[in-house]
Amino acid sequence: MSKLGSIGARLYRGEVGYDFIGKRKIWYGISILITITALVGLAVRGLNFGIEFSGGAVFTTSKTAVSASHAQHTAESAAPGHQAMVQKLGDGSLRIQISGLDTKQSLPVQEQVAKDLKIPVKDVNTQLVGPSWGEQIANKAWLGLGIFMVLVVIYLAIAFEWRMAVSALIALVHDLTITVGIYALVGFEVTPGTVIGLLTILGYSLYDTVVVFDSLKEASKDITKQSRFTYSEIANRSINGTLVRSINTTVVALLPVAGLLFVGGGFLGAGMLNDISLALFVGLAAGAYSSIFIATPLVADLKEREPAMKALAKRVKAKRASAAAKEADREDAPGQGPDAGEGAEDDAAVVGPRHQPASRNRGRGRPSGKRR
Amino acid sequence: MAAPKKGRRAPAGQGHPGRTLVLVLIAMIGLVGGMFYYGHLTPRLGIDLAGGTSFTLAAKNQPGKPNAINETNMNTAADIMERRVNGLGVSETEVQTQGSDHIIVNIPKGTDAKQARQQVGTTAQLGFRPVLTIAAGAKTPEPKPNPSKSGSSGKDGQDKGAKGEQATGKQGTQQKASPSATPDAKPTAQGRAVTDSLKKAPSAKPTPSGSPSGKPSKQPPVPPTGDGGIPQALQKQLDALDCSTPQGRALAGTKAAGTRPADPVVACSQDGRQKYALGPVAVEGMDVSSAKAVFDNDTAQGWIVQMDFTSEGGKKFADITGKLANKMQPQNQFGIVLDGAVVSAPSVSKAIMGGNATISGGFTQQSAEDLGNMLSYGALPLSFKIDDETTVTAALGGEQLHAGLLAGAIGLGLVVIYLIAYYRGLSLVALASLLVSAILTYAIMTLLGPAIGFALNLPAVCGAIVAIGITADSFIVYFERIRDEIREGRTLRPAVERGWPRARRTILVSDFVSFLAAAVLFIVTVGKVKGFAFTLGLTTLLDVVVVFFFTKPLMTLLARRKFFADGHPWSGLDPKRLGAKPPLRRRRTAPTQTKEA
């Protein structure tokens, strides 16, 4: 921990750090690649819709010694033209899903299955699922998603600013696309549970992005009053400063889901648990990734186009040039920059980061903290 | 909520951290005590976890509505059923259409299946029909039709009088009314004229006379549909109607329910004591905008159902009551007909304005609430019969659930290990907060089961698991803030207080986004998604509550302990390990390192 703690401290002070913003092109590229893969997967393989979307019947038998493949054969011969999906449940019973069956067709299948498995008909439970059901749920969910996105963009635009709102939205779409794409690629069944998993991601992805943005907002509050750092640099420091939090939160959020997916899913094969936990796992990971690698760099990109930020970038450049010139004689250079008299912050900002005046330097990236 | 003022102190200000903690403790004890008090120790589980009952309802073809069974009507019916059994959207009842004419209703175990069956199966076709005539409930004896030719008034009257306890007082009116029955629309004078003559014999005659006179009057549909034979036919129907046995009533109800609103109808009262011949529907159930059950103290009628009409319905109602008020008994009564049975038949003395009305008639609280519920959510466009009722097992076998819980527990164990490894002493705060959060969530979910029918399904469980992340994030944000402050060289107590306002803002802003998602989804969506949104919203709110009223006060208290304040290596707040830079202002330890600067 001491190691982690001191890394945290150094991240906090900006002594170490990964240049998220500077290398953003690489990460954009990676994200675009993943997104394209996801979209291709979606287009080529399509989604494997569960019976909640296609309609059908689910038969649950009592304990039986018959193997799943045998039962599948039985079920498929009883319901010609339909595909059966058979799961062996832990207590020895079978769960047979047949898509596209309706009420009338299900009865003979139930009888046939009971006969072949040599169990009484009443021990075969039939549950019919209407095709419109999943669709209705999904349609309403999409509607909710749309309304939510509009509201959240408005909210973020007010609480933060529109650039952040747009970036957060892009990151959100990115996360959802990746998750849906993975579903297509893995071929997992899409159930209402999946839809719910997706919606959870939507909440989480934005949540995570907002936490990062909040620190970014704080760090960049008085940005125009200094000329040591450009917006991108401050954004980068802010990401690095919250990196420990991001990692911790992601680990804590992912561990239980990973438990569900790998332990629960691994034990049990397909099932609703697997559907949801896969959506959650991919989505949470993508959400954590996108808030750092996509959302914040996007904000920086958008911000740097602002005239004020362009001017700032110019000032910083000029200041650094002059600082570099003075480097040799290690002199103070308070009057060198074009905006020399701009404030106490500037006066203190004479030494480059390499000089390590930690006690003076800290707080540089987060002026608001000093003002509190 | 989004951006609290910076200067404002949290409600759980550091002034009385102990008190706040005690409050949370009391709340927890209260909730857990409530669980024991009500005897609900586990949350109600959804159908996917606990299994339940599944009904298959088949839509019935109704006379006069050959094309009624179509997709639109089926979807509307399913929608209405869903709202009836799952008004709040959290009880995990599933209503789905299946094929072209079936609806499947899945009800989780622990829900009153019988009540649910009534709720979904009742069409709730409500109509206000003017009363044409009233007779005692039992089948009118055979002789009656015969006298109708011979015209023996006395006998008929006695028959009816003898049978109908309630109706006895109205015997005279009945007799008079029956001829005029169908042509209710007829000018009263004519009806009277007819009524004054022999009851049964004339009853056939008024028809022809009624038809022409009826047409110009207010309810033209009656005579035309009858093709001139209505009163007699209707009277025959009324005579043949047997309301004295439940089967007879059921049959009558079905038949009456199948009658078109514009046709007159014969129907039984719900208790079977009386039977009615009723005119066409004057005000329909669709005209009711809302209805609720009320206990009527004033007139000691017990439970009644209060209805508010839509503006159009109010007008219609004022109109019909205005017309009825001028008539004689029993034609100044209107029958409130629900699914083919007369619930009550109040008489009208004056036009009722104001767009509301009440239904009384021996309701229990349950039946009044059910009826209010049904009227509010509207009538089913179709009537259904229950084809099949089966018990369904949990879609997710018990084994799956257990493995899922085990998996979740393993994941949680890893979280605990990670937190302890990383935060050491601080992890106590984190774990205690998670525990408090878990207890509150569990207790509230359990109590919401009996309170609003909340049922926990698998998606909700998953939502709760994700909530672990969101809840833990709040502490992590706060802890990191505190550590940052310590890195600035502050001692723990100021660090705890200075870190809080910023952490608080982050927590509120991000939780608001989460809550917004939950609220929108809860309002817009249906079924499982709605249940999930509820869980998400609940856990998000609890997160805020726990952080404000538990984590923060606990931190404030712990900051006073030597173990934490002195930055013991195991406290997770050791300035040295955190890489604090001078000026170090720790209490005991001398500044360890002084950097050149």
Is the pLDDT score of B312 beyond 50? yes
Helix (H) or strand (E) segment spanning residue A96? strand A94-99
Nearest CA in chain A to B580: A9
Q: Who among B411, B476, B525 is closest to A249 (CB)?
A: B476
> What's the rounded Cα separation, in Å, for the pair B348 and B282?
14
Share of chain B above pLDDT 90, in %: 0
Which residues from chain B sit within 8 angstroms of residue A215, using beta carbons?
506
Query: What Å distances lie between residue A355 and A358, B283, B400, CA to CA?
Result: 9, 87, 60
- Is A280 in contact with B459 (Cβ distance < 8 A)? no
CATH class as words, domain B17-42+396-578: mainly alpha
Phi/psi of residue B387, nearest 5 degrees? -80, -40
CATH class as words, domain A2-49+134-304: mainly alpha
Q: What is the mean pLDDT of residues B428-442?
A: 86
> What's the rounded Cα separation, in Å, for the pair A280 and A274?
10
Could you tell me the two tokens for A148? 């939510």
Phi/psi of residue B232, nearest 5 degrees? -65, -50
Position B489 scores a pLDDT of 78
- Is A359 in contact with B582 (Cβ distance < 8 A)? yes
Maximal C-alpha separation, chain A = 96
- B133/chain A closest Cα distance in angstroms: 44
Q: For residues B49 and B401, is the Cβ–Cβ distance under 8 A? A: yes
Q: For residues A153 and A210, is the Cβ–Cβ distance under 8 A? A: no
Query: What Å distances lie between residue A371 and A241, A367, B33, CA to CA?
Result: 19, 7, 47
Position B581 scores a pLDDT of 59
Q: For residues B541 and B394, is the Cβ–Cβ distance under 8 A? A: no
Could you tell me the two tokens for A303? 């911000």
Is the pLDDT score of B445 beyond 50? yes
- Is A141 in contact with B521 (Cβ distance < 8 A)? yes
- Is B579 in contact with A263 (Cβ distance < 8 A)? no
For chain B, give every domain's residue range: 17-42+396-578, 52-122, 126-365
Helix (H) or strand (E) segment spanning residue A331? none
Could you tell me the two tokens for B320? 């019909």
How many CB atoms lie under 10 A from the CB of residue B29?
A: 11
Helix (H) or strand (E) segment spanning residue A69? helix A68-78
Q: Minimal CA–CA distance to B473: which of A164, A20, A215?
A: A215
Is the pLDDT score of B28 beyond 80? yes
- Is B506 in contact with A211 (Cβ distance < 8 A)? yes
Position B5 scores a pLDDT of 42
Task: Please give the CATH number for the structural domain made up of B52-122.
Answer: 3.30.70.3400
Return the axis-axis angle of helices A131-159 and A162-186, rounded to nearest 10°.
150
- Is A268 in contact with B56 (Cβ distance < 8 A)? no
Per-residue pLDDT of chain A (372 residues; tens, 9 = 90+): 445 556 666 666 666 677 788 888 888 999 999 999 889 988 888 777 777 777 777 777 777 667 767 777 777 777 776 767 776 655 566 777 777 676 667 777 777 777 777 777 767 767 666 666 667 777 777 888 888 888 888 988 988 888 889 999 999 999 989 988 888 888 777 777 777 778 777 778 888 888 888 888 888 887 777 777 888 888 888 888 888 888 888 888 888 888 777 776 666 554 566 667 777 888 888 988 998 888 888 988 888 888 887 888 888 888 888 888 876 665 554 444 444 444 444 444 444 444 444 444 444 444 444 444
Q: Minimal CA–CA distance to B497: which of B442, B565, B438?
A: B565
Q: Who among B104, B421, B583 is closest to A130 (CB)?
A: B104
Which residues from chain B sit within 8 angstroms of residue A197, using beta carbons?
459, 462
List, for residues A300-348, the tens digit of each pLDDT value: 888 888 888 788 888 888 888 888 887 666 555 444 444 444 444 444 4
- B478/chain A closest Cα distance in angstroms: 9
Which residues from chain A sit within 8 angstroms of residue B472, using beta carbons?
249, 252-253
> Which residue in A255, A275, A350, A354 has the most chain B C-beta atoms within 10 A of its own C-beta, making it the best mutation to test that interface?
A255
Nearest CA in chain B to A265: B404
What's the mean pLDDT when you consider all of chain B?
69
Could you tell me the two tokens for B286? 């669709």
Query: What Å distances lie between residue B126 and A343, B123, B378, CA to CA?
Result: 78, 9, 9
Q: What is the mean pLDDT of residues B228-255?
A: 71
Burial class, B197, CB count within 10 angstroms (exposed 0-12 / middle 13-18 / buried 19+): middle
- Name B429's Cβ contacts closer than 8 Å, sequence gap at least 6: B475, B479, B551, B554, B555, B558
Which residues from chain A sit within 8 angstroms of residue B106, using beta carbons?
127
Tell me the HSE value of B540 on the side-chain side, using a 13 A CA sphere: 24
For chain A, give every domain's residue range: 2-49+134-304, 56-129
> Which residue in B73, B96, B593 has the most chain A C-beta atoms within 10 A of its own C-beta, making it the best mutation to test that interface?
B96
Position A32 scores a pLDDT of 92
Q: Minimal CA–CA distance to B191: which of B225, B227, B231, B159?
A: B231
> What's the rounded Cα separation, in Å, for the pair A238 and A229?
12
- B95/chain A closest Cα distance in angstroms: 8
Nearest CA in chain A to B420: A1
Which residues from chain B sit within 8 angstroms of residue A208, using beta carbons?
510
Is the predicted ipTM greater than 0.90, yes or no?
no
Which residues from chain A sit within 8 angstroms of residue B517, using beta carbons?
148, 152, 199, 202-203, 206
Is the pLDDT score of B442 beyond 60? yes
b (16+ CB within 10 A) / e for A305-327: eeeebeebbebbeebeebbeeee
Q: What is the pTM of this model?
A: 0.64
Q: Minimal CA–CA distance to B57: which of B114, B112, B113, B102?
A: B102
Q: Where are the alpha helices (DSSP H) in B453-574?
A: 458-487, 492-524, 527-546, 552-558, 562-565
Burial class, B149, CB count within 10 angstroms (exposed 0-12 / middle 13-18 / buried 19+): exposed
> Which residue in B71, B473, B570 has the most chain A C-beta atoms within 10 A of its own C-beta, making it the best mutation to test that interface?
B473
Task: Report the CATH fold assignment for A56-129.
Answer: Alpha-Beta Plaits (3.30.70)
Q: Who among A148, A159, A262 is closest to B521 (CB)?
A: A148
For residue B161, what pLDDT band results from cuts at 50, 70 and 90? Answer: very low
Say which residue, B177 or B133, is predicted with more confidence: B133
> What's the rounded Cα separation, in Å, for the pair B396 and A260?
14
Query: What Å distances lie between residue A202 and A27, A41, A53, A199, B56, CA to CA?
Result: 21, 21, 22, 5, 35
> What's the rounded Cα separation, in Å, for the pair A25 and A32?
10
Which residues from chain A sit within 8 angstroms of residue B521, using beta carbons?
141, 144, 148, 199
> What's the rounded Cα separation, in Å, for the pair B241 and B138?
7
Which residues from chain B sit within 8 angstroms of residue A93, using beta carbons?
397
Q: Where are the alpha helices (DSSP H) in A95-191?
A: 103-116, 131-159, 162-186
Position B153 scores a pLDDT of 40
